A and B are shown apart, each in its own frame.
Chain A
Amino acid sequence: MAAVEQVKSSYALQNSGFWTVNRLRIAGFLTLLTLWELAGASGLFFRGILPSSVLIAKALIELLSSSAFYVHLAVTAIEVLVSFVLGGGAGVAAGLLLGASKRAGDIYEPFIHYLAPTPKIVFLPILLVLFGVGMGSKIALGTISAFFPMALNIAAGVRQVSPVLLRVGKTFSLTPAQTVKMIYLPALVPPLATGLRIALGISIVGCLLSEYKLAKSGLGFLAGQYYESFHVAHMLAVLIFIFVCAALGNVLIERFVRLPGQRPTGK
């Protein structure tokens, strides 16, 4: 209900006064741009590291019009997608098992719970030697990273299914399969959505950082190469591109993970 009221009031705001959502976003963007330019021109910092937005824009255009860039983009995209699917999928499976079985959950969930905050990048040297320098090690790191938040979210989601609903199901004599379909699955949509967003974000960061450290190709590798040759504007252009893609990815998940008739999940 709170969500519906909020949406209503935001629509109301959208139609009153000068500020609309889009105008506010443009204003926000322009403010950031201005701050950047001021910081660069102020002379307080080494200008080489804070190139003007004009230079960054030019670099971005150069990047987007070179075919080599798209090869790197494809490599990173594949790495992220595969780790997201593998890690997320394994996480969902593990989460379901742990949430459904009290015994399994009691024994094994603490492992996942306490390993989750470990920075997975520390495993990178081992993964590099095991899986080589190509996409394999990046996918491995992305998968391991994405597994944990998804497993925890799903396990918590399974356990949080309201006992009231389950009793209602029992009075209707639902079969286990029907229970899953009509009670568990809808209840799992919000944690699944949250898990997907977190898993995507973590896969992206994991793949990019490992590309930056040691890789043959990919956007992280490209950013590193540009920094080494001190083409800072190009490095920043790559990072901006990544940021925009991550934003789009988030928006897609938000739109997709919504069963018909349900309230929009997450805001």
Chain B
Amino acid sequence: MRRRLPVATDQAVSDAVISTKPFRPGRLPAWAMRLLVIAGAVGLWEVCARIGWINPFTAPPPSGIWDGFLRLLGEGEIARALALTTIEAFGAAALGGVFGIAGGYLLHRIKLAGVAFTSWVAAAASAPLVLLYPLFLVIFGRNAGTIIAMGALGCMPAIILKTKEGLDGVRPVLLNVGKTFSLTARQQFWMIQFPAALPVIFTGIRIGLLFAIINVVGVEFLIAVGGLGYLIANLGDRFDYPAMYAGIFFVVLVSIAFFWITERLERWLLSSK
């Protein structure tokens, strides 16, 4: 490897901190480069689809997809689907968060349980829990309740694992400080351990929201209850590919928005500590 790897020299460190890098003409800021890349990709797609290098039936040109998007907006389908998926995803994340943090705490507190069951939880994270949907349909009915329940179950393992990791990873130095101040166990937990574990726990919640959206849209895709997942599957079934692609891009945009919001939230919550 000929290339020189980045090394933290004093100059590089102070550059990062102070950001007084002079604007070098000819070198675009990163966001501009990204826009260029996206524009280039879209342009290339449009041209290829129109010439016929890409099959325009299975990969319609972006102009057709835009038309499809407008059509979906006009019919109101996308707004309804978006509302439903949003409610379900946040509901699933909230439910999964509450039970997940509780579960992670238990696995941390009861050491033996932690050793015994952590690998089971990790396995649950890799299991296609979504395929248990017939059971959930029976218990909750063919409605949003089933989807929220499945979304919650899908994100719980990740949150449990991260919470346990966070609580376990609190440096003993901090705990010893608490002991020197003769804090009770409860004070020890709320004043030292929990705050110290919070960054990792928040990562867990962010991952949890990720899994919640993935599971919610996944279940919607398989069962026809409603929401963005169902919309995409249905548009595919009807072979309305332009609108289906529009729906897919819309899901991408929505998940970007969710992610961005939770990142901001995480930053705000942690900075105010």
Residues of A within 8 A of B (CB): 1-3, 5-6, 9-10, 13-14, 19-22, 24-25, 28, 45-46, 49-50, 100-103, 106-108, 110-111, 113-126, 129-130, 163, 166-167, 170, 176-177, 179-180, 184, 197-198, 200-202, 204-205, 208-209, 212-213, 220, 223, 227, 232, 235, 239, 242-244, 246-247, 249-251, 254, 267
Docked complex Cα distance between A13 and B132 (Å): 36
A14 touches B112 (CB 8 A): yes
A180 touches B1 (CB 8 A): yes
Q: Which of B42-50, B75-83, B251-259 contacts A (4 or more CB under 8 A)?
A: B251-259
The answer to whether residues A246 and B5 also contact, given A115-B252, A119-B214, A126-B58 and a CB cut-off of 8 A, is: no
A116 touches B5 (CB 8 A): no
Q: Which of B64-72, B122-130, B179-187 contacts A (4 or more CB under 8 A)?
A: B122-130
How would residues 1 to 39 of chain B score, 1 for a CB under 8 Å from any chain A CB and 0 otherwise?
111111110000100000000000000001001100100
Chain B interface, DSSP helix/strand/loop, else mixed: helix
B126 touches A204 (CB 8 A): yes
Instruction: Beyond A114-B259, A119-B218, A209-B218, list 17 extra A-B contacts (CB 8 Å).
Output: A6-B111, A25-B120, A45-B138, A45-B139, A116-B259, A118-B256, A122-B217, A124-B221, A126-B59, A167-B7, A204-B126, A204-B127, A205-B130, A243-B123, A247-B120, A247-B122, A267-B165
Q: Which residue of A lies closest to B235 (CB)?
A: A125
Q: Which of B95-103, B142-150, B166-174 contacts A (4 or more CB under 8 A)?
A: B166-174
B87 within 8 A of A: no
Docked complex Cα distance between A52 and B7 (Å): 62
B248 touches A246 (CB 8 A): no
Q: Which residue of A lies closest to B85 (CB)?
A: A119
Residues of B within 8 A of A (CB): 1-8, 13, 30, 33-34, 37, 58-59, 111-120, 122-128, 130-132, 134-135, 138-139, 164-165, 168-172, 209-210, 213-218, 221-222, 228-229, 232-233, 236, 244-245, 247-248, 251-252, 255-256, 258-260
A2 touches B134 (CB 8 A): no
Whole-angstrom distance between the Cβ of A72 and the nearest chain B Cβ: 14
In the complex, chain B residues whose CB is within 8 Å of the CB of A220: 128, 131
B233 touches A125 (CB 8 A): yes
Docked complex Cα distance between A243 and B247 (Å): 32
The answer to whether residues A130 and B58 also contact, given A267-B118, A267-B165 and a CB cut-off of 8 A, is: yes
A121 touches B1 (CB 8 A): no
Docked complex Cα distance between A24 and B222 (Å): 36
Whole-angstrom distance between the Cβ of A3 and the nearest chain B Cβ: 8
Docked complex Cα distance between A207 and B214 (Å): 14
B168 touches A239 (CB 8 A): no
**The 4 residue pairs across chains A and B that have the minimum distance between CB atoms:** A163-B8, A201-B126, A247-B123, A125-B236
B134 touches A232 (CB 8 A): yes
In the complex, chain B residues whose CB is within 8 Å of the CB of A22: 116
In the complex, chain A residues whose CB is within 8 Å of the CB of B13: 163
13 contacts between A and B (CB under 8 A): A2-B168, A6-B168, A22-B116, A107-B33, A117-B255, A117-B256, A117-B258, A117-B259, A118-B251, A121-B214, A176-B2, A209-B131, A246-B126
In the complex, chain B residues whose CB is within 8 Å of the CB of A179: 5
Most buried by B among A14, A49, A107: A107
Q: Which of B111, B120, B248 meets A13, CB within 8 Å?
A: B111
Docked complex Cα distance between A102 and B28 (Å): 14
In the complex, chain A residues whose CB is within 8 Å of the CB of B123: 243-244, 246-247, 250
A28 touches B117 (CB 8 A): yes
Whole-angstrom distance between the Cβ of A225 and the nearest chain B Cβ: 12
A204 touches B3 (CB 8 A): no
In the complex, chain A residues whose CB is within 8 Å of the CB of B114: 10, 267
In the complex, chain A residues whose CB is within 8 Å of the CB of B247: 122
Docked complex Cα distance between A204 and B247 (Å): 25
